[in-house]
């Protein structure tokens, strides 16, 4: 289908890229207080552009953290309403030494644009804005109703947008969300993410003696909280990574045979993945499941740190009074954070060794999420992607969590179309983050065509 | 026996205590590089005082670490020579929040002086210096020949003094060592320590992926070094504290039946010890052995800290590339550090889980040690102690390590009289370290009378 909006986007691509570079030059690192004004600037930059291209009711919504940006265009009577989501905040740049070019000096190299936030998520946010501009410029109207909601705290937990969505404000009433913060499974392969793992992030605190003790004097009589923690942690999974918490797997809904079959056909080279992405001696995980199953569709448990005790250089012969472990579990569809946490807590308390007091705390949690591929918006997306990429869409999951997708589902009752154009080697959260320029261009075209197809 | 030196000490006690506070104000934390100059200052403080009180050949001996302080007085022809040992360095102060008064602002409270190093070991070093001062001031001479050797690295392994002693320098030629770094078994009970556990202090480093990874994306495929460490640590001891390293107990020499019988008669209330000293829900350790056996005469293994990973507040969903554990073992007579470390290293390497690289390092070690109670210096000590404390001396062991005692034995061929005046609840290596003021005073008196009795 010929689209005058696509033609507009093609003609204006150089300008789109130049504007993206301006956005990338704003160091909107959300976790660093000294960049709070840069986050405000990025929000203002987006609001100004949304206004310029013809979106309406453009507002910068203050929050307790960094502001939200809202806009809408609601004149497509009888058509569905999309809620376009992305985030303008970025990760810190450390280790800064490892960047080949400065993180906030966007640089074109090898067909990519390199900058912090290039793909996560400013480049994808900009693709949404440019798709809207192209449609409005070519047709003086959008094919469907559109609301825009950009946030500036995705990299620090997204509390403000979560609270806003949970309040179910009328201005978020929509039929589906368009979330542009994911990636293609492989270059040139149109991809929709239709499943996300949930999570529970916990702390296990173990208290032994009332105060730190000398390990010479008291070793052999005083409980050692670090040893107790090691005993507990070692009982959480078996040697193969199978989680030993009773009942933990009971409610999980395995992927369908069709989904499993589709995953088997994906271009995935386990050895390449081991060497280039993980870089470990070998991969680990439950026997009998592929890497994609283990990272997308199986619950996992990881230890992130065991603070406390003596952590300096050299030696201190202390039996610490207290130890803490940060332990999280990824959950899959069917599991709920509340039940998983209750099972975890009861098990940890049950296996706590003698002599110590064990306290378990929930730090935060997120629901797993699965999008039905037969919903009409996913179907519209696959038609659009096929036209632009000349290939069938692959449906993948992500092992990570995008909490806002669960919030949209739970509070607004709408599914998300997770259509993103990153690549697995884009170095998100790492030095030399990049966005492939072709993917930026085809991404804008895909988003235009998706909004057009969603009207059909 | 009336001693004019004891009278001098009694008259000058207020000054002695005031001087000790000056020494305690020097934050000579040997493990922290930023306190290297403070260690130097503490050495200079001691050297100046030794000179002032009339010791000769006072020298600050530079080392690769913190300096040694040497002094002598060798004019007691035909009398034995004592080698007085103590250390001026102290442990770090963390957790600093738990100190009721600042660790380097010595404060008198409830008949104690509170400060880091109050009893371990500056207060006891100062008791030696003040005993020498009292004898020299009262008699213009010492009753026996005396050499003094103070170090500043006891809390970090004592490498420099070990190397110095191992070189068997002529200026250390002595008949016995007087080591003041131990404690009374109970308040008012004169005590000589005649056995020490040795130790090996190690680090286990575990490396997984080449870089920190996102636990959502990679959880289920990437090895988790903290989980691997927990698996390793949990296999080092069984649930009852019995060490599982093959061969670890093979060479140990158990205490004699007489020693065991004497320990049974010591005033030891396990429940009181649990509540007041340890303050844990229950005591732990190998079944079938008393607390004194477990802490004095059985090998033990403790974990001191597991640095690395995410240790901040809240949540970070990282699979750390690397984890480290600080693990030490206490050794008993018959065991040797070299063999114990070889057994430990081989076992850890054998039980290392798949997917990670494990490296084991020895940080430092010390030999276990046993002193014969029939030697004449121990006998002189018991006479002196009986006079000052009006009670028979009890012979105990310590679960801690004083590596220098083994070095004196091995390299200089001399026994050590471990006469110390700490108390079990003095919080050494912990917040609110203290030294009982009465013990400081009676300690000085005991040291004076011991040096006088050693001349008989």
Asked if B279 lies within 8 A of A212 by C-beta distance, the reply is no
Given B209, B295, B306, which is nearest A220 (Cβ)?
A: B295
Task: Report pLDDT for B311.
Answer: 87
A224 touches chain B (CB under 8 A): yes
Give the closest-approach CA distance of B114 to chain A in angstroms. 16
Give the closest-approach CA distance of B128 to chain A in angstroms. 23
| B73, containing H or E segment | strand B68-73
pLDDT band at A2 (very low <50, low <70, confident <90, very high): low
Mean pLDDT confidence for A125-142: 98
A239 touches chain B (CB under 8 A): yes
Question: pLDDT tens digits for A193-244?
Answer: 999 999 999 999 999 999 899 999 899 999 999 999 999 999 999 998 999 9
- What pTM was computed for the model? 0.84
Q: What are phi and psi of B136, to 5 degrees?
A: -70, -40
Mutate to test the interface with A, among B181, B208, B230, B322 (most CBs of A within 10 A): B230
Nearest residue on chain A to B295, judged by CA atoms? A220
Of A340-349, A392-401, B72-81, least confident by mean pLDDT is A392-401
| Alpha-carbon gap, residue B27 to B44, rounded angstroms | 13
- DSSP letters, A397-421, are EESS--HHHHHIIIII---EEE---
Give the closest-approach CA distance of A165 to chain B in angstroms. 22
Residue B83, classified by CB atoms within 10 Å of its CB into exposed (0-12), middle (13-18) or buried (19+), is buried
| Alpha-carbon gap, residue B131 to A99, rounded angstroms | 64
pLDDT band at A65 (very low <50, low <70, confident <90, very high): very high
- Give the residue among B39, B43, B78 at the shortest CA–CA distance from B58: B43
Determine the length of chain A. 456
Determine how β-strand B191-196 pairs with β-strand B112-114: unpaired
The 8-class DSSP code of residue B306 comes to: B
B315 touches chain A (CB under 8 A): yes
Task: Report pLDDT for A1.
Answer: 52
Sign of the CA dihedral running A373, A379, A381, A385: positive
B61: number of CA atoms within 13 Å, CB side?
A: 20
Q: Report the C-alpha dihedral over residues A179, A185, A191, A194, rounded to 10 degrees.
A: -60
pLDDT band at B1 (very low <50, low <70, confident <90, very high): low
Answer whether A217's CB lies under 8 Å from A376's CB. Answer: no
A288 touches chain B (CB under 8 A): no
First to last CA, chain A: 12
B362 touches chain A (CB under 8 A): no
- Tokens found for residue B328: 């030490």
Mean pLDDT confidence for B403-429: 93
- DSSP letters, A366-380, are E--EE--TTSHHHHH
| Alpha-carbon gap, residue A247 to A331, rounded angstroms | 13
Task: Report pLDDT for B319.
Answer: 94
Asked if B223 lies within 8 A of A315 by C-beta distance, the reply is no
Task: Report pLDDT for B165.
Answer: 97
Asked if A280 lies within 8 A of B208 by C-beta distance, the reply is yes
Question: pLDDT tens digits for A78-97?
Answer: 999 999 999 999 999 988 99
Q: Across the strands, what pairs with B364?
A: B201
Mean pLDDT confidence for A249-272: 94
Asked if A234 lies within 8 A of B234 by C-beta distance, the reply is yes
Give the closest-approach CA distance of B167 to chain A in angstroms. 25
Q: Is residue A62 over pLDDT 90?
A: yes
| Alpha-carbon gap, residue B136 to B116, rounded angstroms | 29
Mean pLDDT confidence for A93-108: 94
Alpha helices, DSSP H only, in B107-256? 123-139, 159-166, 215-218, 225-234
Q: What are phi and psi of A60, to 5 degrees?
A: -100, 115
pLDDT band at A403 (very low <50, low <70, confident <90, very high): confident
pLDDT band at A312 (very low <50, low <70, confident <90, very high): confident
Asked if A309 lies within 8 A of B301 by C-beta distance, the reply is no
- Tokens found for residue B143: 């009753």
Spatial CB neighbours of B214, under 8 Å, sequence gap ≥ 6: A400, A429, B317, B318, B319
Task: Report pLDDT for B317.
Answer: 86
Give the closest-approach CA distance of B249 to chain A in angstroms. 15
Mean pLDDT confidence for A271-298: 95
Instruction: Name the average pLDDT for chain A.
Output: 96
B220 touches chain A (CB under 8 A): yes
Give the closest-approach CA distance of A307 to chain B in angstroms. 5
| Alpha-carbon gap, residue A384 to A448, rounded angstroms | 8
Q: Across the strands, what pairs with B204?
A: B325, B360
| Alpha-carbon gap, residue A42 to B106, rounded angstroms | 54
Instruction: Name the average pLDDT for chain B.
Output: 95
> What domains can be seen in chain B, in order of their start residue?
4-196+369-453 (3.40.630.10), 198-252+299-366 (3.30.70.360)
Q: Which chain A residues contact residue B400 at CB under 8 A? A: 214, 216-217, 317
Spatial CB neighbours of B24, under 8 Å, sequence gap ≥ 6: B104, B106, B113, B115, B116, B117, B118, B122, B123
Mean pLDDT confidence for A130-156: 97
Task: Report pLDDT for A95.
Answer: 84
| Alpha-carbon gap, residue A365 to B313, rounded angstroms | 16
How many percent of chain A have pLDDT more than 90? 91
| Alpha-carbon gap, residue A183 to B37, rounded angstroms | 55
User: Mapping DSSP to helix (H, G, I), strand (E, B) and coil, where does residue B222 land?
Assistant: coil
């Amino acid at each position: 289908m010929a689209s005058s909006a696509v033609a507009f986007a093609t003609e204006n691509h150089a300008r789109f890229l130049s504007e993206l570079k301006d956005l990338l030059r704003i160091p909107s690192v959300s976790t660093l207080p000294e960049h709070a004004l840069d986050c405000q600037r990025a929000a203002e930059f987006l609001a100004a552009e949304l206004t310029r291209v013809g979106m309406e009711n453009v507002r910068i919504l203050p929050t307790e953290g960094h502001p939200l940006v809202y806009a809408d265009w609601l004149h497509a009577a009888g058509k569905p309403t999309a809620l376009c989501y992305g985030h303008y905040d970025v990760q810190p740049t450390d280790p800064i030494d490892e960047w080949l070019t400065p993180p906030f000096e966007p640089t074109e190299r090898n067909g990519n644009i390199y900058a912090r936030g290039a793909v996560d998520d400013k480049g994808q946010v900009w693709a949404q804005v440019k798709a809207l501009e192209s449609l409005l410029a070519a047709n003086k109207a959008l094919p469907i109703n559109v609301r825009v909601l950009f946030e500036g705290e995705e990299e620090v937990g997204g509390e403000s947008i979560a609270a806003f969505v949970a309040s179910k404000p009328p201005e978020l009433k929509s039929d589906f969300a368009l979330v542009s913060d994911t990636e293609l499974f492989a270059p040139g392969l149109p991809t929709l993410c239709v499943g996300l793992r949930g999570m529970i992030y916990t702390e296990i605190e173990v208290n032994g003696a009332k105060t730190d003790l000398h390990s010479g004097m008291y070793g052999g009589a005083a409980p050692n909280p670090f040893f107790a923690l090691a005993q507990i942690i070692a009982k959480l999974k078996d040697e193969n990574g199978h989680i030993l918490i009773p009942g933990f797997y009971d409610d999980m809904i395995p992927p369908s045979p069709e989904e499993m079959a589709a995953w088997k056909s994906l271009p995935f080279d386990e050895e390449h993945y081991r060497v280039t992405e993980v870089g470990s001696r070998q991969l680990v995980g439950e026997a009998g499941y592929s890497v994609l199953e283990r990272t997308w569709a199986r619950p996992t448990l990881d230890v992130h740190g065991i603070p406390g005790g003596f952590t300096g250089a050299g030696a201190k012969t202390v039996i610490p009074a207290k130890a803490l472990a940060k332990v999280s579990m990824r959950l899959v569809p069917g599991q709920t954070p509340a039940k998983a946490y209750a099972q975890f807590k009861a098990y940890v308390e049950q296996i706590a060794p003698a002599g110590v007091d064990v306290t378990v705390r929930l730090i935060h949690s997120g629901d797993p999420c699965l999008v039905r591929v037969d919903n009409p918006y996913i179907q519209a997306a696959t038609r659009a992607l096929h036209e632009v990429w000349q290939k069938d869409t692959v449906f993948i999951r992500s092992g990570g969590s995008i909490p806002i997708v669960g919030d949209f589902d739970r509070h607004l009752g709408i599914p998300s179309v997770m259509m993103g154009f990153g690549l697995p080697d884009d170095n998100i959260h790492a030095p030399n983050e990049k966005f492939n320029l072709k993917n930026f261009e085809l991404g804008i075209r895909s988003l235009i065509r998706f909004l057009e197809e969603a009207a059909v």
